[in-house]
Chain A
């Protein structure tokens, strides 16, 4: 099992642990099979991560990246290199860089003809 961001969930994935709200009430049971409606509900409840059977985040993200054009990734990394300072092992900046890089790549794939975040 592995923790996945709700944004990376796909239909058919199986919950490895129940999803609870902050009061401990169970929202979805362990073993529930994810479909579009579940994913939408999780987002509307503000749940950000869930445990899924048989996956891990790095593996999912790596697989996603393999499907993308290396040119696209290189372009985005180049853009971010100019934008981000040398952050060393600052944990917040490291995570911010990882999230922004992922977000920009996702955006570019979803809107191949748009121009990243400046699209209105």
Chain B
């Protein structure tokens, strides 16, 4: 097998828009509403009611132990008021990502179920870190965590043989996925993920979280959001929440830890919270 890919192969794949997975229109619509200052709950309700799978999950989430409400909420509008648009948008993104993984899931050297669980694990971990560090938008950090490895999905689907070689290489030699990708492909999943995120018109912050979660580009600005996804990824690997193909827990970058300003003594409760929230999220999303 010829393992070395010409560098323009991935660019060609990324250019063939009709082959690439897309974000569902419901997510785009909600994003537009979020940017508009006078969005009515009714409008959001109408959009969500169009998609039964999402509507069911919204009600499930609001009635989950996580919110601990005294009464059961059966009304979509009430649920929207309690959860907020940002939270609902995150739920839609997580649901679409799951559908995307399922659609492209079968027949790969890569276990897509575990990969999806790793994405949720990183999203939840990054969100818990963002909340602990009082970042302004933990839900956006959740989205960044959810999509941080989306480049790997593209590799697994469109560069099947080459990516299988990467997975085998990591398994055998114990190097990181990103190091192996660079060796075998000549570039890594943060490059592909970034390109796809730009195609999807995701926000600049989300693009940066996807592109820099390995902190491999020292010239890029290290933001708190990137730090949260970087560390969230590592914590989800340490807890073995699903698998993104990594064999070993990567090192937490000191600067990333310092910029978040979290006390090391909080680690125990952070880890417990991540695990709890992970199990709840998987249960809600997989039904």
Contact = CB atoms under 8 A, between A and B. Distances in A.
A99 B235 CA distance: 11
B251 A6 contact: no
Interface residues of A, number: 26
A37 interface: no
Contacts of B234: 96
Contacts of A48: 265-266, 268-269
A92 B252 contact: yes
Interface residues of B, number: 28
A100 B248 contact: no
Contacts of A99: 267-268, 271
Contact of A102 (B240, B268, B282): B268
A25 interface: no
Contacts of B268: 5, 7, 48, 99, 102-103
B272 A49 contact: no
A69 interface: no
A74 interface: no
A12 B34 CA distance: 49
29 contacts: A5-B268, A6-B269, A7-B269, A49-B265, A83-B237, A83-B238, A83-B240, A83-B248, A85-B250, A87-B251, A90-B251, A92-B257, A92-B264, A93-B251, A95-B264, A96-B249, A96-B267, A99-B267, A99-B268, A99-B271, A100-B239, A102-B268, A103-B239, A103-B271, A103-B272, A103-B275, A107-B275, A119-B279, A120-B282
Interface of B: 234-235, 237-241, 248-252, 254, 257, 264-269, 271-272, 275, 278-279, 282-283, 286
